[in-house]
Copies of this chain bind each other. A is one copy, B any other.
Amino acid sequence: MKRQIDTTLESISKQLNVSISTVSRVLNGKSKKYRISKKTTDLILKTAQQLDYIPNQLARGLRLKMTNTIGLIIPDIANPFFAKIASLIEKSARDNGFSVIVSDSEEKTEVEISSLQTLTSRKIDGIIISPVGGQSKHLASIKNRNIPIVTIDRQCLDLELPFVGSDNFKGAFTAVNYLVKNGHTRIAIIQGIKNTSVNIDRVNGYIEALKENSISIDKRLIVGENFGEGNGYVEASLLLNIEKRPTAIFATGNLISLGALRAIYEKKLRIPEDISIISFDDQPYSSYLATPMTTVAQPNHEIASIAFRLLMDCIETNKTMEPYKILLPTKFIIRDSVAKITTH
């Protein structure tokens, strides 16, 4: 079955016996600039409509070196935190006449590298990425090609790139400090991927809160290795089994806390009577959990909209990007998952 031939500038031009350029100019609204008569203009407009002309953006992009497309690379589209951000960015993009090619890096550097490759081969005008972390040569290469790029959620540590994200240090500090103020001293943290900036900042916030309250750091309580549900489950299970069980768990991500819940309930423990928990990332369901969960909410709207604006600025001005680092405040939402412990 043959694909039927699309309407092109040429087909319109032939039908009307005018040149392709004239058609192009009219359809781009440049009639006055190029002094195309009203008669011709109207005629072209009408037939374009009739023939249902849709410009070929490949040809346009090739000629114009501009595709009105951006790339979005995130580590896990299904993670509600990223899903929300993706949806917000897509909307901003759409409102500005941009399409977005989404790519899930699955927390793997190789995937990130190859996605970056396909994106540049597709001549996207800019990239928003939450990098996997670790290596950054491939990001440096993007920067060198002068492709506008902004990082979100996770910063690139050894490369100056514009960044928009939460103040993870403060967010974690506040949460852990709250636990301490409620009498907790044995507080565990289940971390995400170790060499990501988010994780480093959250762990540091945890450590600093303990230090400031003169609580010694117990390395056995700093566990975990990725942001998945499975990690939360495994680590929480282990934590609940150690001799002197922690009285509180600080989960550094929404999937981690879900896994922790699974472990906790599997052991028939109660929250917060038997164990307290605080999670990073507030979710729509957080209030409706068996024990409404105390969380550190991230400003996803702001992250998405600022990141997009930064990118647009750079695309439009075509300047080399200022490596802004924008840290947005988190919001600490107190619910019922933390017990007040009274020691004596």
Contact = CB atoms under 8 A, between A and B. Distances in A.
Q: How many copies does the complex hold?
A: 2
Contact of A102 (B52, B100, B117): B100
Contact of A58 (B122, B255, B289): B122
Contact of A104 (B62, B90, B289): B90
A319 B83 CA distance: 34
Interface string A71-106: 000001110100110111011001000011111101
Nearest to A146: B3
A77 B86 contact: yes
Contacts of A121: 54-57
Given A1-B318, A1-B319, A57-B121, A258 B90 contact: no
Interface string A134-159: 00000001001110000000000000
Contact of A80 (B54, B80, B99, B117): B80
A9 to B, nearest CB: 13
A209 to B, nearest CB: 26
A290 B284 CA distance: 14
A331 B258 CA distance: 22
Contacts of A76: 87
Choose among A54, A58, A86, A103 the residue with the greatest number of B CB atoms under 10 Å from its CB: A58
A150 B102 CA distance: 19
Nearest to A62: B58
Given A4-B146, A80-B80, A99 B103 contact: yes
B284 A258 contact: yes
Interface in A275-322: 283-285, 287-292, 318-320
Contact of A56 (B56, B115, B123, B258): B123
A265 interface: yes
A102 B104 contact: no
B83 A77 contact: yes
Choose among A2, A69, A91, A102 the residue with the greatest number of B CB atoms under 10 Å from its CB: A102
Nearest to A122: B57
Contacts of A57: 118, 121-123
A289 B285 contact: yes
A104 B86 CA distance: 10
Contact of A78 (B83, B101, B122, B289): B83
A101 B104 contact: no
A261 interface: yes
A87 B103 contact: no
Choose among A4, A59, A122 the residue with the greatest number of B CB atoms under 10 Å from its CB: A122
A329 interface: no
A83 B141 CA distance: 30
B62 A86 contact: no
Interface in A203-217: none
A229 B102 contact: no
B285 A320 contact: no
Contacts of A318: 1, 3
10 contacts: A2-B146, A4-B146, A58-B122, A76-B87, A91-B106, A94-B103, A258-B288, A265-B288, A285-B289, A290-B292
The 6 closest A-B pairs by CB, nearest first: A83-B83, A77-B87, A78-B87, A261-B288, A58-B62, A102-B102
